[in-house]
Amino acid sequence: MTDSDTQHVDGGTGPLLSGRGLSRTFTLPRRSPLQPGPVRHALVEADLDVGRGESVALIGESGSGKSTLVRLLLALDRPTAGTVTFDGREVRPDRASRLRWLRRRTGVVLQDPYSSLDPRMRIGDVVAEPLRLLHVPGDHERMVADVLDRVGLDPQGVDLWPHELSGGQRQRVALARAVVHGPDLLVGDEPMSALDVTVRAQILGLLAELRHDLGLSLLIVSHDVGLVQHLSDRVAVLQGGRIVEQGATADVLGRPQHDYTKRLIASVPTLDGS
Amino acid sequence: MSLDVDDLTVTIDGRRVVDGVSLHLADGARLGLIGESGSGKSMTTLAVLGLLPPQAVVTGSIRLDGRELVGLSDRQLAPLRGAAIAAVFQDPRTALDPVMTIGRQVAEPLRLHGRVSRADARRRAVEALAEVGLDESVADSWPHQLSGGQRQRAVIATALIARPAVLLADEPTTALDVTTQAEVLALFRRLVDERGASLLFVTHDLAVLAQVAEEAAVLSRGRVVESGPVARLLGSPAHPVTRGLVEATRATTWRAP
């Protein structure tokens, strides 16, 4: 184990995760041999903080830059400009071994529980894999059983295959895998959009519970305003690669200022049919 | 046209996936079919279209303006599909043929159902695209050049071009952004109202249901557990399944502050 593997003790005072002036441009294929390819600005000078224990949501339509921003914040991609720090320490894409400290302190859960679990791995192995890959010390079997219990699954289910589980159970497995190594930050990319409504309500409750019990910070990417309203303290709205609005969830969603946010709120179907 | 489903059962490999479902879609009405995954709502839609897998055993009755559809062969159903009755499914990425221009796909039901000249087909495809808010240039585009919302509009244009009297929509907005979803839902309402078509709208989302349907049936484990006006189902649900759906929806969907 190298020095950079050592788990940090939470003692910092600044935000847990901080992005400053983040931009990412992509050069598209040339259309003419005489001119350089056009440049697409996927993200333009974005500033975003996630405080300790805070829950922050990124909303915006497809192509607005949400996923690009998350990739930069997790060092999965290199910004064209700007910096990212996690607990005061600079984050940038690097060899896996040099990013292990960051991976240990973050967990990720993706949208689709049908494609995010390897169909050839038993549930116990799916959940234990981060412990192995991140060289986490301790009794892995015990840790897997504990986390399965915590997400409401039977710890005896470690020998099951993903196809033997319902969509809701799979998303619980995905959550267990995302938090098994005790991260400080949980990142969810549309974590509920593939689920039935009663399962959504359960997973929403579970996310809130995990956040509370484990003291997690959350960064949720979603275009689901309902999820954001029920789960986030703060929200940043992206459009065309820019953060066009950010603030306390009740303020931004309750009194939207930007045209896009207004249109988004007006589009959300509600039970009263308005 | 009206659509009447009576005591429909569908059994696949010994498993009863639809179990005695009855529905009445009146001429020009908008009926919702709501339920979670595995409740049998998609199987019901597929039964109406005669598109169930070959090993499915169907009993009961499905009548389109009084004409019995159960027991008809593929050959007998083919003239109805796309013409009297058309369907829009969930995923606009897989509903379109990637190697055919949008204009040709939209016009395909016309070419399958009657002799139309190439120029006529093109003209009507452009009209159908205009009706769903897409401009003429889209007719010459390929599916990969369109956004998700544009693709779903193109799929709807394809469903509408032969002026079907009954439109089946199975989760048609689930794969769309919320702003696009609102536009597509408004489009369905307008088309039904202006055309006098009948709409059977299948969804798992009560908030979406409230935007499009007047009446609805709640499905659970292949059975209709409750049905009635949407406002009544949402306001005072009687069956535990409906109550569960309403409560879960209230806990997860947007509520104006």
pLDDT per 10-residue tile (average), chain B, 257 residues: 95 94 94 91 91 92 94 88 84 78 91 83 92 89 86 88 89 80 86 87 92 94 96 95 93 84
Q: Which residue of A has its CA nearest to B181?
A: A267
Best residue in A195, A204, A261, A267 for a mutation probing chain B (most B CBs within 10 Å): A267
Please tell me the distance from the alpha carbon of residue B81 to that of residue B197, in angstroms, as a whole number.
Answer: 15
pTM of the model: 0.79
Q: Which residue of A has its CA nearest to B243?
A: A198
A135: left (phi over 0), alpha (psi -120 to 50) or beta: left
* CA–CA min distance B189, chain A (Å): 13
Please tell me the distance from the alpha carbon of residue A61 to that of residue B104, in angstroms, as a whole number.
Answer: 29
Q: Show residues of chain A in contact with B230, CB under 8 Å.
A: 273
- What is the distance between the terminal CA atoms of chain A, rounded to a whole angstrom? 58
Q: What is the dihedral sign for C-alpha B65, B66, B71, B73? A: negative
pLDDT tens figures, A63-101 = 789 989 999 999 999 999 999 999 999 998 989 889 999
Domain boundaries, chain A: 14-29+36-267
A50, with CB counted inside 10 A (0-12, 13-18, 19+), is buried
pLDDT tens figures, B51-95 = 898 899 999 999 999 999 999 988 898 888 878 898 888 776 677
Q: Show residues of chain A in contact with B151, CB under 8 Å.
A: none
Contact A271 B251 (CB under 8 A): no
Q: Is residue B177 part of a domain?
A: no
In this prediction, what percent of chain B has a pLDDT beyond 70? Answer: 98
Answer whether A92's CB lies under 8 Å from A84's CB: yes
Answer yes or no: is pLDDT of A177 > 90: yes
Answer whether B31's CB lies under 8 Å from B213's CB: yes
Q: Is residue B43 part of a domain?
A: yes
Q: Check if the interface score ipTM surpasses 0.85.
A: no
Q: Is A225 on the interface with B (CB under 8 A)?
A: yes
Contact B210 A229 (CB under 8 A): no
Q: Residue B257 is nearest to which of A196, A250, A268, comparing CB atoms?
A: A250
- What is the distance between the terminal CA atoms of chain B, rounded to a whole angstrom? 42
Q: Is residue B174 part of a domain?
A: no
Q: Is residue B151 part of a domain?
A: no
Please name the residues between 135 and 174 in chain A that touch chain B, using a CB distance below 8 Å. 167
Domains contained in chain B, number: 1
Residue B68 belongs to a domain with what CATH number? 3.40.50.300
What's the domain range around B52? 1-84+202-257
Q: Show residues of chain B in contact with A223, CB under 8 Å.
A: 177-178
Contact A197 B36 (CB under 8 A): yes
E strands in A51-130: 55-59, 81-86, 89-91, 106-109
The predicted model gives A247-269 an average pLDDT of: 92
pLDDT tens figures, A1-54 = 444 444 444 556 789 999 999 999 988 888 788 888 888 899 999 999 999 999
* CA–CA min distance B79, chain A (Å): 35
Q: Is residue B75 part of a domain?
A: yes
Note the CATH number of domain A14-29+36-267.
Answer: 3.40.50.300
